[in-house]
Amino acid sequence: MELQTLTYLAVGLTFAIYIGIAVWARAGSTSDFYVAGGGVPPVLNGMATAADWMSAASFISMAGLISNMGYGGGLFLMGWTGGYVLMAMLLAPYLRKFGKFTVPSFVAERFYSNGASAVAVVCLLTMSITYIIGQMTGVGVTFARFLGVTNETGIYIGMAIVFAYAVFGGMKGITYTQVAQYVVLISAYTIPAIFISFQLTGNPIPQLGLGGSLTGQDITMLARLDQVVTDLGFGKYTTTTAGSTLNMFVYTISLMIGTAGLPHVIIRFFTVPTVAAARSSAGWALVFIALLYTTAPAVAAMARLNLLSTVNSAAKTGGDMYAEGTSLVHAERPDWMKRWETTGLLKWQDKNNDGRIQYYNDKTKNQAVLDKAAAAGWAGSELTVNADIIVLANPEIALLPNWVIALVAAGGVAAALSTAAGLLLAISSAFSHDLLKKIWMPSLSEKGELRAGKIAMACAIVVAGWLGLNPPGFAAGTVALAFGIAASSIFPVLMMGIFNKKMNKEGAIAGMVAGISITLFYVFAHKGLFFIKGTDFLGLIGGANSFFGITPEAFGTIGALTNFLVAYVVSKFTPECPEHIQHLVEDVRTPRGSKVIGGAH
Amino acid sequence: MDTSGKAYWHAVLKLIGVHLFIWALVSYGFGIVFAPALNNIHLGGYPLGFWFAHQGSMYIFIILIFVFAKLMGKLDEKFNVHEQ
């Protein structure tokens, strides 16, 4: 069958399944709508959390970035998994015992203040919207490539689909839909990786293939990759860090504590039956996440090697890549290159007019590489490959069968849509439950609350879609910014709420405000005010990455430190936390007496 | 044995401390700070520091969570604060 027909079929079929499940499980009461009646088993909950968590950034964008960054890309791997350890040990069991629906309602009660809760809602909304912008961008790119429509149309289609099942299905729909989505996206990710690992190393397990030897050769995959990329003037694959070691360090911290502070992930742990289950649920979620995350570095390295050997026939055998006739003749390029050329994400420009594709790092400081290139008559690198196409193009580069390519398309769509839906739910509950019902309109009926939640979702979709048309960067970058925001605001307030029983409302509010403000200030300085292009103010902070060379994506760590520090100092100079709240915190620390969270609140 | 809430919380903090130490050691330690030194050792075709950053720390994270959950369960029973 034609690739295009197969793609339509795969995407259409999986959509039908998700929507079918959402309709089948249409929610009834508010309790069902938000937390699926508190009765989702830990393993299934783990799978749904994994689908919720693994977004367009993980699925489409991450391996491409690692592929380009090499070793330094490991910060995404460690950062986006290490947060679950913090979640399991520091937050999930205590929040489950506390027995509240949402993060802001925890903040409201623990800090005996609607003001603190309102600040938490604002932080949560800022973070969630930023996150969804990234998802919508991912949805757009995926649809544009596989359905042959423009990026804009892709985003509009995505908005409509997310709206349909998030608004009509609620959490219960989403939980079971997301189990289905997990199955689709993990097969879409691992099946091509298994094929490619087997082709290259003879070992079908990608995690082992990455450390294996090349088929028929007496050299390991990574050693060959290191040699090829350094010969072409790129940084050595297994050692190049992401900026300075300090930047890599704080970037990883920011992603880890951001993960632990993600409201749409935390809300998952309210759906398990007991405190003990909340602890192991985080473990199950991580098992399912790690299945993709440990495959990603193999996908990254193998795609890089495959791409380089497609362009230069000497790459796979370790021959002289500057020798005559090794570069690919453009007229003989494989079909996948032609397909991606039409999207504009892969470009070729024949700088030396020899009709062949030369691909190397022409900005390298290594004079030997430049001399060799000049001697071979190369006049600059002629190929630009957008990092974000790597995962989607990966099966095509390896010349895998069409059904695998179609499956990857379905997986990409699943990844982007599932996270967007989970985030919309967090936005909806924060707005309707924590802001409207608790603060502005206490008399709101259950029905009215549900309706307000749905309206909030619809508005959030429109705003995110609109910003997604003109995003501050591609999926992974935008998403990393969202993590910085969560890291600087939500994680510290939850931590202090549990581990410092003397922390008072003044400290909590001041900490959140200080943390998120300084982070947004640094981010907006780089990316523009509210991510609107052209409104950046880098001059004011003394140039890009001026704070010890730390990038805006990594700045959440500094925001979190500020938050902790300000909160501590303010709490020392303001009235002490009331006695009954201190007792409440003591009670939260022990599992005994936990209740199943019901609909009444 | 002291079975008060205070003693329980003290034991919990100790358990968290030990696990977070390992958590930080494998990721920030072996995966980032000591990675250049560890890269001189090889695990199959993997330089060891690179392996910790791209594979190893994630496996250890999973083990840490399950071991922690198990030990916490035991601690809860020992101090008689477990869920009935």
- Quick one: pLDDT at residue B31? 92
Chain A residues 242-261 with CB within 8 Å of chain B: 245, 248-249, 252-253
Please indicate whether, in this complex, the C-beta atoms of B58 and A239 are within 8 angstroms of each other.
no
Q: State the Cα–Cα distance between residues A240 and A476, nearest whole angstrom.
A: 19
Q: Say what percent of chain A tops pLDDT 90.
A: 24
Whether residue A276 is found in the same domain as residue A340: no
A189 and A337 inside one domain: no
Instruction: List the single residue in B31, B45, B66 with the smallest CB-CB distance to A280.
Output: B66
Confidence of residue A601 (pLDDT cuts 50, 70, 90): very low
Q: What is the pLDDT of residues A393-433, one digit of tens each?
A: 888 888 888 888 888 888 887 777 777 777 787 788 788 87
Nearest to A124, CA basis, from A140, A102, A101: A102
- Is residue A223 less than 8 Å (CB to CB) from chain B? yes
Confidence of residue A83 (pLDDT cuts 50, 70, 90): very high
Residues A165, A93, single domain; the answer is yes
Q: Can you tell me whether residue B29 is helix, strand or coil?
A: helix
All residues of chain B having their beta carbon less than 8 Å from the beta carbon of residue A279 are 65, 68-69, 72-73
pLDDT tens, position by position, A315-324: 888 888 888 8
Of A365, A391, A417, which marks where a domain is finished?
A391
Single residue among A363, A391, A419 that ends a domain in this structure: A391
- Inside any domain, residue A229: yes
At residue A551, the pLDDT reads 85
**Residue in B20, B54, B61 nearest the CB of A286:** B61
- Residue A81 pLDDT: 94
Whether B5 and chain A come into contact, CB under 8 Å, resolves to: yes
Range of the structural domain that residue A557 is part of: 3-301+398-588
Instruction: Decide if A217 touches B, using CB distance below 8 A.
Output: no
Structural domain includes residue A307: no
Is A68 a domain residue? yes
Which of residues A452 and A540 earns the better pLDDT score?
A452
Tell me what the pLDDT averaged over chain A comes to.
83
Q: Give Cα separations from A163 to A174, A417, A465, A470, A506 (angstroms).
A: 12, 10, 11, 20, 38
- Residue B65: pLDDT above 90? yes
Same domain? For A15 and A59 the reply is yes
The C-alpha R_g of chain A, in whole angstroms, comes to 25
Say which of B19, B50, B81 has its CB closest to residue A238. Answer: B50
pLDDT higher than 70, residue A168: no
User: For chain B, what's the residue count?
Assistant: 84
Q: Which of 25-64 (B) contact A at CB < 8 A?
A: 27-28, 31-33, 35-36, 39, 43-47, 50-51, 53-55, 57-59, 61-62, 64
Chain A residues inside the 8 Å CB shell of B43 = 211
Domain check: are A378 and A403 in the same one? no
Question: For the ranges A3-7, A165-169, A401-405, B69-73, which has the lowest average pLDDT?
Answer: A165-169
Whether residue A170 has pLDDT greater than 70:
no
Confidence of residue A1 (pLDDT cuts 50, 70, 90): low
A287 near B CB under 8 A:
yes
pLDDT over threshold 70, residue A35: no
pLDDT at A598: 47
C-beta of residue A187 within 8 angstroms of C-beta of residue A407: yes
Q: Is residue A244 part of a domain?
A: yes
Q: Report the range of poorest mean pLDDT among A42-51, A141-150, B54-63.
A: A141-150
CA torsion angle for A461, A463, A466, A469 (degrees, to 10)?
-70
Please say if the pLDDT value at position A177 is more than 50.
yes
d(CA A526, CA A409): 32
Confidence of residue A37 (pLDDT cuts 50, 70, 90): very low
For residue A24, is pLDDT > 80?
A: no
Residues of B in contact with A90 (CB under 8 A): 16
Shared-domain flag, residues A91 and A42: yes
Residues A49 and A184 placed together within one structural domain of the fold:
yes
Instruction: Give me A257's structure tokens.
Output: 């504590």
Residue A161 lies inside a defined structural domain of this protein:
yes
- Give the Cα separation of A385 and A399 in Å (integer): 18
**Do the Cβ atoms of A140 and A434 come closer than 8 Å?**
no
- In 3D, which of A480, A403, A471 has the Cα closest to residue A58? A480
Q: Measured between CA atoms, how close is A28 to chain B, in angstroms?
A: 29
Same domain, residue pair A285 and A419 = yes
Cβ contacts (< 8 Å) between A591 and chain B: which residues? 76, 81-83
Indicate if A294 and A317 belong to the same structural domain.
no
Query: Looking at CA atoms only, how far is residue B72 from chain A in angstroms?
Result: 8
**Is there a contact between A484 and A556 (Cβ–Cβ < 8 Å)?**
yes
CB atoms within 10 A of CB A583: 11
Q: What is the pLDDT of residue A440?
A: 79
Asked if A210 is an interface residue toward chain B (Cβ–Cβ < 8 A), one would say yes
More confident: A272 or A584: A584
The tokens describing A73, both together, are 């890309």
Does residue A572 or residue A601 have the better pLDDT? A572
* pLDDT confidence of residue A600: 34
- How close, in Å, is residue A277 to chain B by CA atoms? 9
Q: How confident is the model at residue A599 (pLDDT cuts 50, 70, 90)?
A: very low
Q: Which of A373-377, B47-51, B52-56 has the lowest mean pLDDT?
A: A373-377
Q: What are the Cα distances from residue A360, in Å, to A175, A232, A312?
A: 46, 5, 10
More confident residue, A546 or A364: A364
A75 pLDDT tier (thresholds 50, 70, 90): very high
Which of A77, A252, A591 minimises the CB distance to B81? A591
Tell whether A362 is covered by a domain. Answer: yes
Which residues of B fall within a CB distance of 8 Å from A253? 28
A208: confidence class by pLDDT, cuts 50, 70, 90: very high
Question: pLDDT (tens digit, 9 = 90+) per residue, A481-532?
Answer: 899 999 999 999 999 999 998 899 999 999 999 999 999 999 888 877 777 7
Identify whether A593 is part of a domain: no
To test the contact with chain B by mutation, choose from A236, A590, A594 the residue with the greatest count of B C-beta atoms within 10 A, namely A590
Mean pLDDT on A132-151: 75
Task: Quick: pLDDT tens for A232-252.
Answer: 889 899 988 888 889 999 999
Please state the separation of Cα B1 from the chain's center in Å.
27
**pLDDT above 90: residue A51:** no
The verdict on A237 and A373 lying in the same domain is no
Which of helix, strand or coil describes residue A469?
coil
**pLDDT (tens digit, 9 = 90+) per residue, A260-292?**
888 778 877 776 778 888 888 889 999 999 999
SS3 of B52, please? helix
The pTM for the full model equals: 0.88
Contacts of residue A212 in chain B, CB cutoff 8 Å?
Answer: 44-45
Q: Which residues of B touch A84 (CB under 8 A)?
A: 61, 65
Rounded to whole angstroms, the Cα distance separating A493 from A97 reads: 17
Q: What is the mean pLDDT of residues A17-33?
A: 63
Q: Which of A387, A490, A385, A439 is nearest to A131 (CA)?
A: A490
Give me the pLDDT at residue A198, please: 93
Asked whether A263 and A124 are in contact (CB, 8 A), the reply is yes
Q: Which of B45, B57, B65 sits opposite A88 (nearest CB)?
A: B65
Residue A598 lies in a domain: no
Least confident window among A72-76, A85-89, A596-600: A596-600
Question: DSSP secondary-structure letter at A312?
Answer: B
Crossing angle of the two packed helices A114-146 and A505-527, in degrees rounded to 10? 30
Distance in Å, alpha carbon of A294 to nearest chain B alpha carbon: 6
The number of folded domains in chain A is 2
- Would the CB atoms of B12 and A589 count as touching at under 8 Å? yes
Q: What crossing angle do the helices spanning A114-146 and A103-110 adopt, rounded to 10°?
A: 170
Q: Which residue has the tokens 């070992």?
A: A203
Which of A391, A418, A436 is the endpoint of a domain?
A: A391
A89 to B19: CB separation less than 8 angstroms, yes or no? yes
The residues that bridge with A329 in the sheet, in sequence order, are: A356
Chain A, 382-411: which have a CB under 8 Å from a chain B CB?
A: none
Same domain, A346 and A465: no
Please tell me the distance from the alpha carbon of residue A221 to that of residue A219, in angstroms, as a whole number. Answer: 7
Q: Which letter does DSSP use for residue A473 in this model? A: S
Chain B residues near residue A594 by CB distance under 8 angstroms = 83
Output the pLDDT for position A204.
Answer: 93
- For residue A220, the chain B residues in CB contact (below 8 A) are 44-45
Answer positive or negative: Cα dihedral of A413, A414, A415, A416: positive
The Cα–Cα gap between A65 and A72 comes to 10
Residues A502 and A530 in one domain: yes
Model pLDDT for residues A114-126, shown as the tens digit of each residue: 889 999 989 988 8
For chain A, the residue count is: 601
Task: Tell me, yes or no, if A521 comes closer than 8 A to chain B by beta carbon.
Answer: no
